Amino acid sequence: MSPRLALALPPACALLLGSPSPASRAQDAAGGISAVEVSTEGKQIYEEICQACHMADARGGGGAGAGIPALADNPKLADKAFAIEVVVKGRGGMPWFTDILSSQQIAAVLTHVRGNFNTYADPVTVEEVERIAGKAGGTVEQ
């Protein structure tokens, strides 16, 4: 995709059509993806998709009944299952993202939000996303 076209598309469309992503992934252990890679990918996804509503500082916003919840300092995000289910199934005015994001991408963005805007250091894993998506009736594209 040309850089000019990518700039003209809404962030979610650019992600669907193949926005730039790291070609290789660093590993902490055999078969694992490093915390650095998860952080970088999660930050990119947050900036391209989430921050349009939840704002760059993750403080949410909106007015006249269209309140968008803050992700920063949000005690509900301590529960990884809650966070995963919201992204997988949607909630309120937030759409589900299982048709847009893979399990890896959901895990990465939630790890970024929980660690960068909160103090929840334990990463969300692909296995947790897939387990909860299955229980929630969501299907996560691979």
- 41, part of any domain: no
- 101, part of any domain: yes
What is the reported pTM?
Answer: 0.71
- 28, part of any domain: no
Nearest CA to 117 among 73, 75, 78? 73
- 85, part of any domain: yes
pLDDT at position 5: 33
User: Cα(5)–Cα(134) distance, rounded to whole angstroms?
Assistant: 35
How many domains is the chain partitioned into structurally?
Answer: 1
| Residue 134 lies in domain | 72-142
- 2, part of any domain: no
pLDDT at position 136: 62
User: Cα(123)–Cα(50) distance, rounded to whole angstroms?
Assistant: 18
- 55, part of any domain: no
pLDDT at position 63: 62
The secondary structure of the chain in percent helix, strand, coil, rounded to multiples of 5, reads: 50, 5, 45
pLDDT for 85-123, tens place per residue? 999 999 988 999 998 999 999 999 999 999 999 999 999
- 123, part of any domain: yes
- 130, part of any domain: yes
**H/E element, 108:** helix 103-116
